[in-house]
């Protein structure tokens, strides 16, 4: 059975900064260590926008490892799918359910902020269907709390560099996933 829901809210950050924070994968395990303490790119085809990632997440009080496919659709869409438990022999919620997400960022029509739209698709056996709202709450909580940490980081950088200033992300020494695409779409944003 499938259960789908959408979580939409406004992020108080210009879209160029929100996208940079997402693609700046180096900050994940530092800033979000309470939620994710391991992030490893296992596979990347040259010139593709798809990577295979092994990551641990703490969801609903349970720590679990997963391998998944992560796809960037420029300029501001991020899909996660093919989630599999890792290592496979440790019992995990991913043996029972499969969660795919599709995150889109849109520039706010009136303000210099970002609308975040997260579509979640949970595939689960019928006997877990009664728990779907509980799963939804867990996923929403994780997403909101992680975004709050990002917004704190964004405010700290805003104080130093000014709102919307992404020049630090564009600098040569700064690693970022799909940096060529980022520079193409957001290289002149300030």
> CB 27 → Fe ion: shortest distance, Å?
6
Q: Tell me whether residue 23 or residue 150 sits nearer to Fe ion (CB atom).
A: 150
Residues of the chain by 3-state class (helix, strand, coil), percent to 5: 35, 35, 30
**Distance (Å, rounded) from C-alpha 170 to C-alpha 187?**
7
Q: Which stretch binds Fe ion (CB under 5 A): 86-94, 127-135, 145-153, 161-169?
A: 145-153
Helices (H), ranges, 100-174? 132-161, 167-170
Q: Which stretch binds Fe ion (CB under 5 A): 63-71, 75-83, 143-151, 178-186?
A: 143-151
**Does the protein bind Fe ion through residue 24 (CB under 5 A)?**
no
Q: Tell me whether residue 3 or residue 28 sits nearer to Fe ion (CB atom).
A: 28
Q: Which stretch binds Fe ion (CB under 5 A): 5-13, 50-58, 118-126, 146-154?
A: 146-154
Distances (CA, A) of 143 to 32, 149, 182: 11, 10, 23
> CB 149 → Fe ion: shortest distance, Å?
6
Contact 42, 52 (CB under 8 A): yes
**Distance (Å, rounded) from C-alpha 131 to C-alpha 13?**
34
Q: Tell me whether residue 94 or residue 143 sits nearer to Fe ion (CB atom).
A: 143
Q: Tell me whether residue 4 or residue 156 sits nearer to Fe ion (CB atom).
A: 156
Q: Tell me whether residue 37 or residue 97 sits nearer to Fe ion (CB atom).
A: 37
Nearest of 1, 27, 7 to residue 120 by alpha carbon: 7
Applying CB under 5 A, among 53, 116, 150, 177 the residue interacting with Fe ion is 150
By CB under 5 A, how many residues form the interface with Fe ion? 1
Q: Which stretch binds Fe ion (CB under 5 A): 54-62, 82-90, 109-117, 149-157?
A: 149-157
Return all residues near 48 (Cβ < 8 A) that are at least 6 apart. none
Look-up of token digits 């043996």: 95
- Residues of this chain that interact with Fe ion (CB under 5 A) are 150
């Amino acid at each position: 059975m499938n259960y789908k829901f959408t979580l939409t809210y406004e992020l108080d950050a210009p879209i160029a900064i929100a996208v940079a924070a997402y693609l700046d994968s180096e900050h994940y395990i530092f800033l979000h260590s309470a939620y994710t303490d391991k992030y490893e790119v296992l596979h990347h085809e040259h010139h593709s926008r798809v990577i295979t990632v092994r990551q641990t997440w703490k969801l609903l009080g349970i720590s679990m490892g997963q391998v998944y496919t992560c796809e960037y659709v420029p300029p501001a869409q991020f899909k996660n799918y093919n989630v599999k438990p890792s290592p496979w022999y440790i019992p995990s919620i991913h043996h029972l359910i499969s969660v795919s997400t599709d995150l889109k960022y849109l520039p706010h029509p009136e303000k210099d902020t970002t609308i975040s739209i997260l579509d979640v698709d949970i595939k689960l056996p019928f006997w877990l269907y009664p728990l779907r709202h509980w799963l939804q709450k867990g996923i929403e909580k994780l997403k909101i709390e992680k975004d709050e940490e990002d917004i704190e980081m964004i405010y700290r950088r805003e104080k130093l560099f000014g709102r919307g200033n992404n020049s630090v992300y564009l600098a040569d020494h700064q690693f970022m996933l799909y940096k060529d695409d980022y520079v193409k779409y957001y290289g002149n944003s300030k």
